[in-house]
Structure 1
Amino acid sequence: MKGKYTISAILLALQVSRTSYYRWLGEEREITLSINEVAIIELCKKTKYRYGHRKIKALLKQDYAIKLHRNSVQSIMQKHNVQCRIKPKRKWKSQGETVVIRPNLLNRNFTASAPNEKWVTDITYIQYGSTTKYLSTIMDLYNNEIVAYKLYNHQKTSLVIDTLKEALANRNNPEGVMIHSDQGTVYSSYAYQEFMKEHHIVSSMSRRGNCWDNAVIESFHSSLKSEEFQYVRFNSLSNAEVVNRVSTYLKYYNEERIQEKLGYLTPIKYGEKAA
């Protein structure tokens, strides 16, 4: 029908977006794609469309020895509709009364000069299984590595204590670590604070209502949900599938997911530099 009508008119009549049409056209004529386009599309598929143009640009250089300006990479990604998924904005929710409040020693300084200097921790809801689960994670700010995590059916104090126990065991029981959290009741409980005191851990807490005070771990939880569960409906998976997805993503995050902050290395590879 192209000889009789314009592309715009045809797409309007069929209610097909221009982006979808050109993406289909590109797939149909894959043989005409340039080497750069093929490499970029393959990288986007390989990384499950989780990376923006800056990271894809870095991988092009690492994996294919192709040097392109980031604007060129972005243009190709837009042309073939392989951009990264957009993270939804996270709204802060007020919490209950606290018991023990600690000062904000971290003060949004999310950098560390050595491993086991600063850790951040938080809990997030995982609502994709038959029942809601609660994921507790601890991240080392030196290389953004997830040091430990626990996925329980509750968010009682034992959840955060068990996560901290695992982190200490995984890092050979370091002393003097600063661990930053929000003012949630589990973190401000006497049991949790006493456990940290016994293990010579310094406690730091976000100010009330300031989610940005713990932005790095909040961002990680957002990435997990947007990259692993974005197209999954709530309560549509079995609990076993949820556990497997979380475990797989955390392994991917530590061992395969490159980060701009780390010079486009993975947390594990960057951490090896300090070994």
Structure 2
Amino acid sequence: MDLYNGEILGFSLSKSPTLEFVIDSLKQALPIIHERAEYHTTIHSDQGWHYQHNSWVKTLKQNKIFQSMSRKATCADNAAMENFFGLLKQEMYYGEELISYKALQMKIEKYIDYYNNDRIKQKLAGMSPIKYRTHASQLAA
């Protein structure tokens, strides 16, 4: 998630918490980060073993990205993502029948597209994350 506008830059789904699962999301986000970042980029995460693994740390260093992990029982750095997960569950999952993994995957992909392109946020002047970024870039030009 880009904290500038709340846009989801990369995501992956997995039936189990593997290293590939988190690296895949990072690799999706890297081209976007390189394209947009004018200044120092920081990635916030929890202290999960994935984010301490040499492959994750090495990928961040190779891409000149600073790693930030909150101390145990301190979730402030990751609060924006936790809020997104709460919205996702509330708006597309709760009250739904259990479905196949593939159907769930498609539903989450559709929700993220909706969230980025259509779901308005009051703090973004009533625009979706992508519309807000586009609007702001037009003003800066």
Aligned to 2:137: 274
Q: Is the 8 A contact 1:179 1:203 kept in 2?
A: yes
Aligned to 2:85: 221
Higher helix share: 2
Q: How many residues matched?
A: 135
Quick one: higher RCO (CA 8 Å, sep 6+), 1 or 2?
Answer: 2
> Aligned to 1:264, what secondary structure does the other structure show?
coil
Residue 252, structure 1, aligned to residue 114, structure 2? yes
Give the Cα–Cα distance (whole angstroms) in 1 for the partners of residues 73 and 33 of structure 2.
31
Give the Cα–Cα distance (whole angstroms) in 2 for the partners of residues 185 and 223 of structure 1.
25
TM-score, structure 1 as length reference:
0.47
Q: Is the 8 A contact 1:148 1:170 kept in 2?
A: no
> Aligned to 2:10, what secondary structure does the other structure show?
strand
Q: Any unmatched runs of 5+ in structure 1?
A: 1-138
Give the Cα–Cα distance (whole angstroms) in 1 for the partners of residues 58 and 72 of structure 2.
22
Equivalent AA in structure 1 for residue 84 of structure 2: F
Give the Cα–Cα distance (whole angstroms) in 1 for the partners of residues 44 and 124 of structure 2.
21
Equivalent AA in structure 2 for residue 210 of structure 1: T
Q: Which runs of 4+ in 1 moved over 6 A?
A: none
Match of 1:207 among 52, 71, 74: 71
Equivalent AA in structure 2 for residue 191 of structure 1: S
Asked which structure has the greater CA Rg, the reply is 1
Aligned to 2:17: 155
RMSD of aligned alpha carbons: 1.6
Give the Cα–Cα distance (whole angstroms) in 1 for the partners of residues 34 and 77 of structure 2.
28
Return the offset for 1:172.
Answer: 4.1
> Aligned to 2:137, what secondary structure does the other structure show?
coil
Going from structure 1 to structure 2, the CA distance change for 1:163 and 1:189 (only over 3 Å counts) comes to same
Return the offset for 1:226.
Answer: 0.9
Give the Cα–Cα distance (whole angstroms) in 2 for the partners of residues 147 and 268 of structure 1.
11
Equivalent AA in structure 1 for residue 120 of structure 2: I
Return the offset for 1:190.
Answer: 1.7
Going from structure 1 to structure 2, the CA distance change for 1:237 and 1:220 (only over 3 Å counts) comes to same
